[in-house]
Structure 1
Amino acid sequence: MTRRTAFLAFSFVVVIGLLGLQSWDLARGRIEGSALRAIEERTGFAVKSLERAEIALLPLPRISLSKVAFAQHDGAVAGEALRVRVYPRLLPLLIGRLSFNRIDLVAPQLDVAVPAGSDGVTDWLTPPLAELEKLRSQSRIVIRSGVLFLRAAGTVQSIVRDVNLVIDEREQQQPFDLSGSFTWRGVPSNVSLLWPVADGGGKAALSATSPLLKLRFEGTRTGPGEPIVNGTLALSTPSVPQLLDWFGEKSRISTALGALTLNADLQLKPREASFNNAVASLDGDRLDGVMKLTDVDGRFALSGTLAGASLDLGRLIRRLPLPAIDVADRSPLDLDGWTGRDIDLRVSVDSAKLNGARLVDVATYVLVKKGRFETGLLRASAYGGAVKARFLAVGAPAGVDVKIQAGLDKVDFGQAAADVPQLARLTGTGTFQLALDGAGRTFDELLGSMTGRSSINLRQGEIGGIALAELVRRAERNPSQLLRDWQQGKTSFDTLTANAGIANGLLVLTDAQMNGTNYQLNLTGNASLRTRQLDMRASLASLSGSLRLPLVLKGPVDAPFFDVESEAFLSPTGTTGNTMVPALLGR
């Protein structure tokens, strides 16, 4: 036997001997009572009942309590554990004094009382942490395979499963040091937290990792008084809507966002978080600026100003759950679903995409208040001109009051057609204006109430799909050639002007005219916003005055028919042709 082995054996015999000198006839009750007092003093939990207590000395001294019910003094946390193990310190035990350094809660079920109506992790954690802060000292607490029930007025708000946490031992005024894992709302997560107590300051750190979130914060907390936390934040998520949904936040506007990474200097105050020097990446589009998140009377508000090089606005809009504009849908318009949180965001970028259109020097905004939603383009340049737009929806006794404004000034439609397929058959440079105002409880009511005006003015352009100038030439030379394919080709124009008034969902042309080198086209009639049907007539005349040809434009907006009316006068001598030439507009 080596000297080292002999020494260890001798030490073991001495320890057993010292333990044997204690009065163990009285020790069981004494140790059990000491264990219960230690649990209360070192965890803040008072034991209400237990089934039995067991004491083991080897391999290390421990006290095991079975089926233990416990609660904090203020009732913030209560529960029961299948087993509670208390580990005494060895050296004090040798001289007959009990001192504990670790307490294990095995398979506990914990009930945490949270404020009624609370829906955030901060509200849920505040009561139990506040109780722990009152302790003069705290043992190392190990929670294994626990379940956490968050209750408000007896109703379960949320359940945290598979809780495996370690709260390190600390003395008064020392920070909490917590680490472990849990499963919340079906998502497994790992977390570590270093947090100073309320009356003191010091280093603060938080790390959280899950399939939906990677978060790291490092900083400091100042105290006493209202605590202020300053530090650096790094956050990333593959899906902002899924992340918010995980936290119980339902937001239709957030569906516009996809993957997000955020780095910022974070300052936390009571009910306020400021993100300074923020660098956000939305699906690869970088935005820099400042943001602030506040809680006013339980209503969250997000504000900020961001700037970047590029942004795909069209992608953001396509992700929104916008309802289809369908008069057959009689379901009520739901404005509350879009205005649940206050938002005031201003975004400026050097360039942006909007459903294929390329914009430069863009300033856009989103402004949301309870019962009010507003967004638009404050400014943008596009294809040699300027673009502005505004959409406003406000709750009203009649349902939802909607205002739409849009304007293009000196825009080259030919250049825009290369990026926007809907403009592929139209060229020219000019302006477009639209103003609409209506109110209703459904889309049918809303479209039927629309009033406003619209106008378009273009110069030196073409319309594809019809050849009106060729039609005039053929009709003047040989009326029998009228049936040939004039619905193909292009029509060049010098000016195109159309003005319309809108009342009760009906658009009525007040002045619509197109002029070319050898023709003039005048258009009159109306279009229904509800049914999206056209009912218009046109007069095509040669500039020489030898021809006046009436036409009709009818049918659905998506596929209207452009026809030559029967009884069309083809010559000044009165020759007529009784032909009807159906043609899809824009074929």
Structure 2
Amino acid sequence: MTRRVSILAYCLAIGLVLLGLQSWGIAVGRIERHVIAGIEDRTGLKITSLERAEIALLPLPRVELSQVAFAQHDGMLAGKAVQLKARARLLPLLVGRLSFDRIDLISPEIDIAVAGTEDDLTEWLATPLAYLTGLQNQSRIVIIGGSVFARARGEIRTILRDINLIVDEREPQEPIAAGGTVNWRGVATDVNLLWPTAGEQARLSFSATSALMNLRFDGTRSGLSWPVYNGQLSLSTRSLPELFGWFGETPRLAATIGQLNLTAEAQVKGSEISLSNASAILDGDRLDGAITLGKAGPRWSLSGTLAGAALDLGRLYGRLDLPKPARSEAGPTPLEFEAWTAHDIDLRVSVDAARLGGGARVTEVATQLLVKKGRFEAGLLRAAAYGGSAKGRLLASTAPTGVEVRLQANLDRINLAQGVADLPGLPRLSGSGNLQLALDGTGTTAEEVVASLTGKASIALRQGELGGFAFLDLLRRAERSPMAALREWRQGKTAFDSAGATATIANGTATITDAQMAGPTYRLTLAGQASLPESWIEMSGQLNQANGSLTVPLVLSGPLDAPSLAPDVDALLRPAGSTQPTLLTR
């Protein structure tokens, strides 16, 4: 080859390279049909309009369409993109065949038609999965900075924003593999999906990681007409109420749980999820067992049996926003009973040890929670507590006059001295005995229920001590000088052989007629009333020497949670001219 020919060849090669690197704009009418057909074949999307098309040959052959609109043939999926880039394979192009191995959608806005009007994640995913499954020759599809609008009957049900997603290239019958990031309801989430398109026994996996949760499922799908999914499920969240709120659910009882870590062998069949060999860690407390979650119409149902070594029931109860009677200057507190019974629950939990509200500890605990439409029942079926046993039940159900509430509690052979360390707020009281409580009330607000309470309550103790009250010192002082009885006497303690009280409650008022405490040398009796709506107690009584020679009148009054017991000054001081001006005698 002569020098002149070499120079001409090099110039021609450089020219071809420069021409190949240059994008060539061509009119829409002159785009060959097989270019658009190639894109449609590899995406399943029909190009309905575009503003401009460009073709570049080097470094790799590619087509760029600007302001392009597209739609699936059945109209279930449609959208538009600022730009569509299709990268062609070089070898097929050399033999005159156009085939694209990658198609990028730049800033697309995609509309997906979904069935129904419920905020159901499975319905939202059904259309895009059906679209991808139906593709016979799929290129790698890349979505950059996109948005997806799920619509039902023309109404937007949900929006995915900031989508950066890659759907891998695949052949027919191969599974769909996709991964990337999306922003749903303000939370950025990393997602990865392996979804089978064929086969009776096919592997699948799904994971979603965000600031609210870490979810992963690995398993298999069996069956095509009625698929069943089996595999290993793991879920962790910093706050279960926040996670439910992200999905648009606000179950009241979910507020009891904060941090949750769950692992289980899962089976998904229709609208039911069955979890076996489940291990749930609730704020550090582990429970093992089986759980079933299902949905019938708008109502979710949860059932299961769980067991563990320890559980803080007091913490769970404390997180509930239970309706409480407001102060007189505040407005009424609605019960919102429909919200409390919006989902069906049948849950049984047994633990070796549990902590109740206030710090009380119990062992060998069995609990039950039953919730149906118009009915709420929570029960402490059994528990061993401080040498005795404890049981309790709360039942609420709809009634013509509002909500009917029933409360029952039974403590048998409880040794109070064993609970002093756990219950510092308990009056300094020791001894062993029983407590029984049965209350019924009805109303539309918490105030109405408390004001209508009717029932009975009783407590009986024996062989104990009452701290903070020196009744024997009070009697001795009053015997020497009645005025001395008015001095400070709340020091020391008083032993008793028996103590007890019985109350009859009617319309929110408790009447106590036979409260008493007795020891070898004294006897204390009290009688009066307590207003449950006002949380106030007023009682009067007498402290007597055993021989009946001396009586000191007493008054018990104040808030129910902290009443004050003191000598009755008005009764102690007689009118002038009395032979014993400062002492009442029999």
Q: TM-score, normalised by structure 1?
A: 0.90
Counterpart of 1:346 in structure 2: which amino acid?
A: R
Q: CA deviation at 1:30?
A: 7.3
Counterpart residue number, 2:3:
none
1:416 aligns with 2:419: yes
Distance change (3 Å), C-alpha of 1:575 and 1:285? farther
- Residue 552 of structure 1 aligns with an amino acid whose one-letter code is V
Alignment of 1:546-561 (within 5 A): 546-561=549-564
Residue 352 of structure 2: which of 340, 346, 350 is its match?
350
SS at match of 2:115: coil
1:537 CA drift (Å): 1.5
Percent identity, aligned pairs only? 53
Task: Give a deviation string over 1:302-356, Cα, whole Å, max 9, x none.
Answer: 1111111111111111222233332534142212222222222111111111131
Structure 1: which 5+ runs fail to align?
1-5, 581-587
Aligned to 2:326: 326
Q: Distance in 2 between matches of 1:567 and 1:89?
A: 107
Give the distance between the partners of 2:389 and 2:409, measured in 1 at CA.
11
Provide the rounded CA distance (Å) in 2 between the counterparts of 1:359 and 1:575: 57
Alpha-carbon distance change, 40 to 514 in structure 1, aligned in 2, over 3 angstroms: same
Aligned CA distance change for structure 1 residues 421 and 101 (closer, same or farther; 3 Å): same
Contact 2:573/2:582, CA 8 A, preserved across alignment: no
Superposition deviation, residue 199 in structure 1: 6.3
Letter in 2 for 1:409: D
Q: 1:335 corresponds to which residue? A: 337
2:111 match: 111
| Aligned ranges 1:55-94 → 2 under 5 Å | 55-94=55-94
Encode CA deviations 1:411-453: one digit per residue, 9 max, x unaligned.
Answer: 1111112111221411110111111111111222111111111
User: What residue is the counterpart of 1:240 in the other structure?
Assistant: 240
Q: How far 1:32 moved relative to its partner? A: 4.5
1:515 matched to 2:515? The reply is no
Taking a change above 3 Å as real, the CA distance of residues 494 and 137 of structure 1, as seen in their structure-2 partners, is same
Letter in 1 for 2:47: V
Matched, 1:363 2:390: no
1:482 equivalenced with 2:485 (yes/no) = yes
Match for residue 438 of structure 1?
Answer: 441
Aligned partner of 1:311 in structure 2 is 311
Cα separation, 2, equivalents of 1:363 and 1:240? 24
Aligned to 1:3: none
Q: What residue identity is the alignment partner of 1:179?
A: G
Offset of 1:481 from its aligned partner?
A: 2.7
Q: Any idea what SS the aligned residue of 1:421 has? A: coil
Query: 1:547 deviation in Å?
Result: 2.0
8 Å contact from structure 1 (residues 44, 135) kept in 2 = yes
After TM superposition, list the pairs within 5 Å mapping 1:234-313 onto structure 2.
234-313=234-313
Determine if contact 2:303/2:347 at 8 Å carries over to the other structure. Answer: yes
Superposition TM-score, scaled by structure 2 size: 0.90
Q: What does 1:491-530 align with in structure 2 at a 5 Å threshold? A: 491-530=494-533
Residue 374 (str. 1) matches residue 346 (str. 2): no
- Once residues 198 and 153 of structure 2 are traced to their aligned partners in structure 1, the CA distance between those partners, rounded to angstroms, is 27
Aligned to 1:131: 131
Residue by residue, what CA displacement relative to the aligned partner does 1:383-410 show, whole Å, maximum 9, x if unpaired?
Answer: 1011111112223332222111111111
Q: Give the equivalent residue in structure 1 for 2:541.
A: 538
Alpha carbons of structure 1 residues 459 and 32: separation in structure 2 relative to 1, 3 Å: farther
How far did 1:526 drift?
0.9
What is residue 158 of structure 1 aligned with on the other side?
158
Gaps of 5+ in 2: 1-5
CA deviation map 1:138-166 (0-9, x unaligned): 22211111012222333322221110111
Q: Does 2:567 align with 1:564?
A: yes
CA distance in 2, matches of 1:147, 1:25: 28
Q: CA deviation at 1:197?
A: 2.1
Distance 1:31 1:305 in 2: 66
Secondary structure of 1:171's aligned partner: coil
CA 1:200/1:106 → structure 2, altered by over 3 Å: closer, same or farther?
A: farther
- Output the amino acid matched with 1:79: G
Cα separation, 1, equivalents of 2:494 and 2:562: 19
C-alpha distance in 1, partners of 2:39/2:505?
Answer: 77
C-alpha distance 240-579 of structure 1, shift in aligned 2 (>3 A):
farther
Give 1:222 deviation, angstroms. 0.9
Alpha carbons of 1:577 and 1:361: their partners in 2 closer, same or farther (altered >3 Å)?
farther
- Aligned counterparts of 1:198 and 1:344: Cα–Cα separation in 2: 37
Q: Which amino acid aligns with 2:162?
A: D
Name the counterpart of 1:54.
54
- Give aligned pairs, total: 563
Q: Give the alignment's Cα RMSD to 1 decimal.
A: 2.7
Q: Aligned AA for 1:347?
A: V
Is 1:473 the counterpart of 2:476 in the alignment? yes
Partner of 2:403: 400
1:424–1:134 Cα change, 3 Å: same
1:426 counterpart SS class: coil
State the distance in 2 between where 1:54 and 1:26 align: 6
Contact 2:332–2:446, Cα closer than 8 Å, also in 1: yes
Does the alignment pair 1:453 with 2:456? Answer: yes
Which whole-Å CA distance do the structure 2 matches of 1:528 and 1:510 have between them?
Answer: 15
Q: Which amino acid aligns with 2:250?
A: K
One-letter identity of the residue aligned with 1:405: Q
Name the CA distance, whole Å, in 1 between partners of 2:198 and 2:292. Answer: 23
Task: Give 1:584's aligned residue.
Answer: none
Q: Which residue of 2 aligns with 1:585?
A: none
- Label 1:54 to 1:521 Cα distance change in 2 as closer, same or farther (>3 A): same
Contact 1:231 1:267 in 2 (8 A): yes
Partner AA of 1:481 in structure 2: A
Change (3 A) 1:343 1:466: same
Counterpart of 1:349, as a letter, is V
Q: Which moved more, 1:274-283 or 1:328-337?
A: 328-337
Paired residues of 2:323 and 2:333 also in contact (CA < 8 A):
no
- Distance change (3 Å), C-alpha of 1:191 and 1:443: same
